[in-house]
């Protein structure tokens, strides 16, 4: 399944270096990052279509980038905050090698 994660443009360098981290693991120290420590219940959020990700991104940031990544259908859970199964969660970090960044300038094309 292809998922789209909206983020503030300022996060792109970190995402390219470390990947997408679950909600709490962004607070992890360097040793925990290297070990890939993830506590149960922490998730990465993603939409199944780019337009919902863009809308979410601009609702929360002035300048955004979209992270595109693939996970297996078995790895996702429906995010019940959204109707129509448009948002999902993944309970592990997403490796930077599995992420493609779409910048704001590409979104305008």
Q: In this predicted model, what pLDDT tens digit does every residue of 47-91 receive, in sequence order?
A: 999 999 999 999 999 999 999 999 999 999 998 888 889 999 998
**Domain of residue 48, CATH code:** 3.20.170.30
Number of domains into which the chain is organized: 1
Residue numbers of the domain that contains 54: 2-108
Pairing of the two strands 64-70 and 87-90: unpaired
Render pLDDT for 30-41 as a digit per residue (tens, 0 to 9).
554 455 444 445
Higher pLDDT, 42 or 70: 70
Stated pTM of the model? 0.82
Question: How far is the C-alpha of 106 from the C-alpha of 108, rounded, in Å?
Answer: 5
What distance in Å separates the CA atoms of residue 12 and residue 104, rounded to the nearest whole number? Answer: 11
pLDDT of residue 36: 47
């Amino acid at each position: 399944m292809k998922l789209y994660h909206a983020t503030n443009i300022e996060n792109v360098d970190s995402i390219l270096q470390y990947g997408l981290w679950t909600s709490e693991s962004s607070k992890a120290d360097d040793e925990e990052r290297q070990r890939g420590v993830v506590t149960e219940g922490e998730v990465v959020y993603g939409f199944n279509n780019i337009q919902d990700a863009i809308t979410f991104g601009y609702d929360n940031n002035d300048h955004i980038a979209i992270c595109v990544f693939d996970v297996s259908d078995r790895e996702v859970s429906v995010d019940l905050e959204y109707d129509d199964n448009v948002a999902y969660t993944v309970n592990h970090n997403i490796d930077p090698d599995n992420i493609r960044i779409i910048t704001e300038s590409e979104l305008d094309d």
